[in-house]
Amino acid sequence: MPIYEFKCQSCGRRFERLCSLGETGESLACPQCGTNGPRRVMSGFAARSSAKGDFGGTASSGGSGCSGCTSTSCASCGH
């Protein structure tokens, strides 16, 4: 199930929801004012690479891993 971001047309609040694939917002209500039918909006994201220590990259294989484990990939330790 994807997390979608919505914006209330009445109060302007933006919020996220874990929804079924393709949810448009018609069946939802704003958690702040209760208005039905918020609009789904595009949301940005950043991916942090533990191997590089910066945003936008992916962990390279053979890296040193994080300081909390001996794995070379934080995907295997959950960090």
d(CA 52, CA 34): 43
Q: Is the pLDDT of residue 74 over 70?
A: no
Q: Is the pLDDT of residue 5 over 50?
A: yes
pLDDT in tens, 29-63: 999 999 999 999 988 777 777 765 555 544 444 44
Q: Whole-prediction pTM value?
A: 0.55
**Coil, helix or strand for 72?**
coil
Q: 46 in the Ramachandran plot: left (φ > 0), alpha (ψ -120 to 50) or beta? A: beta
